[in-house]
Structure 1
């Protein structure tokens, strides 16, 4: 995998072959970060990377200036690899070994961006449970964005807070956010 942009642009990171992962492709990752570039100032983001695997998405946020990144994965090998890589690159990434659902049930922190890349063969119910837990436990900032990567076999557009999705190859990114209420300041100024 390679880092697409920012401080570490072009750097290659080689994960051990034995890790149980399916990293987000460079094309999908580049498309996702093009969307995020228009919405966020990366240096101000508090990021949560769920089912983080090799840390591919976390490294991209760190390279673009995010200094508060939490990576959660249930595999000890993945967490150890993220810790080692973050230390080598001097990235501020906190890697936590935990069942993602238990983490979401216990966490009290709020995040600006939450990215989840569960195994594509995870059940529909568990995909939906990620969205439910995040909004029920108020883990997303009011202006924040939840992104779930999934295959076309998993349907995510019927859930509350769904805003849009984008398809890249065999991956779909579904986006969730709180509905933004527009204030009509211009009308008040006219009075």
Structure 2
């Protein structure tokens, strides 16, 4: 993995092999950030990264100037890796070790972007539950967006608040808005 743009452009991130992750590919990540660049000023954003894994997406936001980033993952190794990497890069990332669904049921916060990258083999109802909890519990600001990364074999277009999706190889980003 590498950081595509910003102050940390070109920095490589090498995660331990034992982490249970599937990082977003550089091609897909670059495409996602090209879309976001047309709608947001990164230095004024707040971001919630669910199923954060290696923190790959969060580092990209931080490199582009985002200072309010929260990563949630239930795996201690992932959280520890994100904390260490954020410290090494001197970037402001808050980490929370929690089951994402429990976090979404209990936490109270407002963000501009919620990014969720759950396992690709998630049941359809679990993908829907992410969107349901984000909107029901009011995690997004008025013009905020939920982005769920999933495989091209999963269709999230029937979920409430679905806006559009973009395919990049075997990855798809589905966008949800009020």
Report if TM-score (shorter chain) is over 0.5. Answer: yes
Between the aligned partners of 2:17 and 2:78, the Cα distance in structure 1 is: 11
Between the aligned partners of 2:159 and 2:70, the Cα distance in structure 1 is: 25
How many residue pairs match? The answer is: 178
Residue 148 of structure 2 is matched in structure 1 by 148
1:100 matched to 2:100? The reply is yes
Residue 53 of structure 2 is matched in structure 1 by 53
1:18 matched to 2:18? The reply is yes
Report Cα offsets for 1:2-55 as digits up to 9, x if no partner: 000000000001100100000000000000000000000001101000000000
Q: After TM superposition, give the deviation of residue 153 of structure 1 in Å.
A: 2.1
Q: How does 1:99-178 map to 2 (within 5 A)?
A: 99-178=99-178
TM-score, structure 1 length as denominator? 0.92
Between the aligned partners of 1:169 and 1:155, the Cα distance in structure 2 is: 15
TM-score, structure 2 length as denominator? 0.99
Between the aligned partners of 2:153 and 2:174, the Cα distance in structure 1 is: 13
Report Cα offsets for 1:111-167 as digits up to 9, x if no partner: 100000000011111010000000000111111011000012222011111111000
Between the aligned partners of 2:35 and 2:68, the Cα distance in structure 1 is: 20
Q: Following TM superposition, where does structure 1 have runs of at least 4 consecutive aligned residues deviating by more than 3 angstroms?
A: none
Between the aligned partners of 1:4 and 1:92, the Cα distance in structure 2 is: 18
Between the aligned partners of 2:107 and 2:143, the Cα distance in structure 1 is: 19
